[in-house]
Structure 1
């Protein structure tokens, strides 16, 4: 019987384990953390799966060819066309396989693509979400908790704003979990039902090799034999690797601890060819003092808060620099813009500025609208005082807000195009006079520091369509596979839509699991 070792227990690792075990391999999953799920468990669990069968029920037509057109329209940077084409073709197949092979059941989310106006873009329902599911207490205890998700709400409920709080309370009473944790529960159960063993709290020290072939992993003085699938995430939590490879400043990694480049180092030791090393799944992030995860700083993705009326983002000069309502990947990239005159990254220190009407109506990270002001929320009675508090130029801030208020009154933003995209309006406030534009004019005024962050890095060993790692000297490395953020993303700089991280990794993991098992 073929033996397969999977390093990592996020969506990619567990999907590969299910595929390999159901194909007849003897599978062992090795997870360094004492709990399962990695960054997937902290996420919304969305998977961007174009041409999925549920889109038709929502009245949205799609096909692999349209998905391919859209991905080609986003083509920028280090793109692997073979892998992009394979993903477009296989996404609906793998989405159906996951439902038949695991306890996972999908529902669509009406989230528009991040660039829906481009050829092949869609106004919604390409993202799929695991439906809520009840889990045994012993299984739930094995899955990483998500400090950013305090109630078992689905992403579809958040996206539509239709939430039955009595049902949410009932879910809590009955051990029902949602989002990324629901995905991890289904994949864990399926992997173990197919015979896979899962070793949590176990660290891989190196690869076992013979004659250029990878034939296992070293754990202390022991060797766990088998073909190896690297699925332990990226390197965003390792400052030295971040400095060496990423294209600009990144101080707010949002994912789980442990993403310190373990897979990258293992692949390098085997002679892997690398790709897409300068890119990540970028985002603006907020850091709340005292919030930690596994003893490390916990950084929160800033998503809809930027798109609400009566708010704007400014850089360290007090200048507006981006369409605040755009998807978080593009906003995160904008925070890395280099100013050659000042020889600095002015938006590496950025601020979300808003007024009392915003504070009264909206939440911000863990801060609810009816919570008292907290110390990480900077407040002042005038814009001049606020500028002094956050140490930016008061005249620049006043000019930026005056211009923004003028645009908000007109209902259009020719400076940055805020509100012109279907996506912008979707993530805004549909109940407001304009879903994303509104004046910042009611004192007192507030500011929150935003960091350039990422959900995970995109760089790693290049692979073929079966997930097998390419050798720097040509050809493939026998016995070694890589998936998810442990591998080079084929998408280059693109982030096609909500779930654009998990969707491609599910397809790649399905292929790698089957290939390793054969």
Structure 2
């Protein structure tokens, strides 16, 4: 339930003009809106959905911001060149010096501005390592921040504007934060302290459901959007849900507003300083998928965990105004393995497998029973490996395999760990079970001989904490997501206590990378590389500065909020660097 029982959010009076019009209400769009309003501009945000927050409200809420103020306050100092060199090696031919330098310079300024002047606050990620620890310029921590938890009651009736957490990864609609919070939920049957923590959290959540119709203990991306929303409302930003954009308005080559569809009919909103496209990319645009996703062009399906309404509106608006799409040589999507979950209402959702893959005692196998990747690597890397491993013409799918001990300890995908019973997942067909590996193989359609050989080889080394085939647990990112109690390797344990379980994973994503080509000020570029006057793109409507690579967690939200901050300065005609000092 997305609205409160006893109150409804304010609906601002329609306007015909403003200084800056923002299309989309994720972290990139709201970052731009809050910054611009703080700089004195009249700002309007239009959102096609009845709720605000986009993919950001479903996200983990992490931002990759090297040399951020929280890390520096903790004594983590690194040279300005360290992260730049990491990106140079990671992005290779896709490295764009002007945009990367703007991001690295303004990211810490953006964090400091929001902490000092708005309701947005962060917790540090000083122990969160970059994805690719073999890169000599990777950091073992200090380059990430996450939205601080937020009490939704501070929004009052305006909580009705906020998109609820993704149901598939929340517990009865309650978000669970990574780190200690998640650890308590995983240890609820093993620790009195964890049981007390979970009891308090769940009890408060059910009380909130009774009083407000939704959870109020906001964490992760839901807390980030709530904090941005509170900051926007405090600055009189006008927020219009249920307001899709029909087309952009131009005047002598300049973008001067948009024609929108409201509950009362169509109208034009003029924008003196320009329009910012922040509509969330194209994860659910089948035509763009066929153009830019090789597996879709080859006839396979793609299942994104982003909101279904993210259908490429911003990219189409930008192209129609003369902008061009910036290609990503490596990958056009932020790949992630997902499993398909049928909800009670008959709809099918995509569950993103982000947490359990690094835990000890799980492997991923193809139809022939062979492993294809280090399962503890990042979601993007695992999905990239799967896309490369599946022969052309075959469906992009694999199976995550574990034993009973693992499933009851950590859960497997959407199937929760103990004490949650297994029968709903088995009954729906989501979770497959076999008393022996051969029986599980038959249930899953996996080659039984191949799976037996894989398990025999894997288990022989796993009993010693080793994985010579793929090196699980050899880099810091693997280990931080493993289980520290499993020694000598937090990511490796044998799979041998029946019954055995499997869940099918298919090609999916958390969002998209390809988007409108922009310069370092987030200005949309035409075919000749010239900025289109009055048009900006941020978030996933902007071609990712990571050029289709995924070097660390938070490389979507970090640049989204940073370039929202930068675009607001450019639209307001205010020099960067002045705002934090003022």
TM-score by length of 1: 0.94
Gaps of 5+ in 2: 1-16, 186-193, 209-215, 574-582
Q: Of 388, 392, 397, which residue of structure 2 is paired with 1:343?
A: 392
Go from structure 1 to structure 2 and tell me whether the alpha carbon gap of 1:161 and 1:493 turns closer, same or farther (over 3 Å shift): farther
Q: 1:124-139 residue pairs with structure 2 within 5 A?
A: 124-136=141-153, 137-139=156-158
- The answer as to whether partners of 2:364 and 2:373 remain within 8 angstroms in 1 is yes
Spell out the pairing of 1:237-276 with structure 2 (5 A cutoff). 237-249=284-296, 251-276=302-327
Partner of 1:410: 464
More displaced stretch, 364-373 vs 314-323:
364-373
- Structure 1 residue 311 and structure 2 residue 362: aligned? yes
| Cα distance in 2, alignment partners of residues 463 and 291 from structure 1 | 42
- Within 2, Cα distance between the matches of 1:507 and 1:310? 39
Q: Cα distance, 1:95 vs. partner?
A: 0.8
Correspondence for 2:270: 225
Moved more, 407-416 or 425-434: 407-416
Q: Aligned partners of 1:49 and 1:78: how far apart in 2? A: 19
Give 1:158 shift: 4.4
**Aligned counterpart for 2:110 among listed residues 69, 75, 94:** 94
Query: CA separation in 1, counterparts of 2:152 and 2:182?
Result: 24
**Number of residue-to-residue matches in the alignment:** 513
User: Which sections of structure 1, spanning at least 5 residues, go unmatched?
Assistant: none
Q: Distance in 1 between matches of 2:405 and 2:48?
A: 46
Cα pair 1:464 1:470 within 8 Å, conserved = yes
In 1, Cα distance between equivalents of 2:199 and 2:435 = 39
2:120 aligned counterpart, secondary structure: coil
Contact 1:111 1:124 in 2 (8 A): yes
8 Å contact 1:377–1:447 — kept in the other structure?
yes
Q: 1:352 to 1:475 in 2, by over 3 A?
A: same
1-structure distance, mates of 2:151, 2:362: 39
Task: Pick the aligned partner of 1:145 from 153, 157, 164.
Answer: 164
Instruction: Kindly report the root-mean-square deviation, in angstroms, between the aligned alpha carbons of the 2 structures.
Output: 2.1
1:166-210 deviation per Cα after TM superposition (whole angstroms, max 9, x unaligned):
653576457331111111111112122222100001111111112
Tell me which residue corresponds to 1:508. Answer: 563
In structure 2, C-alpha distance between the alignment counterparts of 1:397 and 1:417, rounded to whole Å: 19
CA contact (8 A) 2:364 2:398 kept: yes
**Aligned pairs (5 A) from 1:107-186:** 107-109=123-125, 110-136=127-153, 137-146=156-165, 147=167, 148-150=169-171, 151-158=174-181, 164-165=197-198, 168-169=201-202, 172=205, 173=207, 175-186=216-227
- Asked whether the equivalents of residues 237 and 260 of structure 1 are also in contact (C-alpha less than 8 Å), the reply is yes
Secondary structure class of the residue paired with 2:258: strand
2:89 aligned with 1:35, yes or no?
no
Deviation at 1:311, TM superposition (A): 1.1
- Residue deviations 1:212-261, cap 9 Å, x none? 21111111442111111000011111222111112435622011121100
Which of 42, 56, 62 is the aligned partner of 2:78?
A: 62
Deviation of 1:414 after TM superposition, in Å, equals: 2.3
Cα displacement string for residues 138-188 of structure 1 (whole angstroms, at most 9, x for unaligned residues): 122210111122335433424766963365357645733111111111111
Residues 109-118 or 378-387, more deviating:
109-118
Q: Bigger CA drift: 234-243 or 407-416? A: 407-416
For 2:374 and 2:540, the matched residues in 1 are separated by 27
Quote the Cα distance in structure 2 between the aligned partners of 1:514 and 1:170: 44
* Counterpart in the other structure of 1:449: 504
Q: Secondary structure at the match of 1:248?
A: helix
Kept in 2, the 8 Å contact 1:6–1:28? The answer is yes
CA deviations on 1:442-466 (whole Å, 9 max, x unpaired) are 2211110111211101111111111
Aligned to 1:155, what secondary structure does the other structure show? coil
- What is the deviation of 1:63? 3.8
- Matched residues in 1 for 2:446 and 2:202: separation? 44
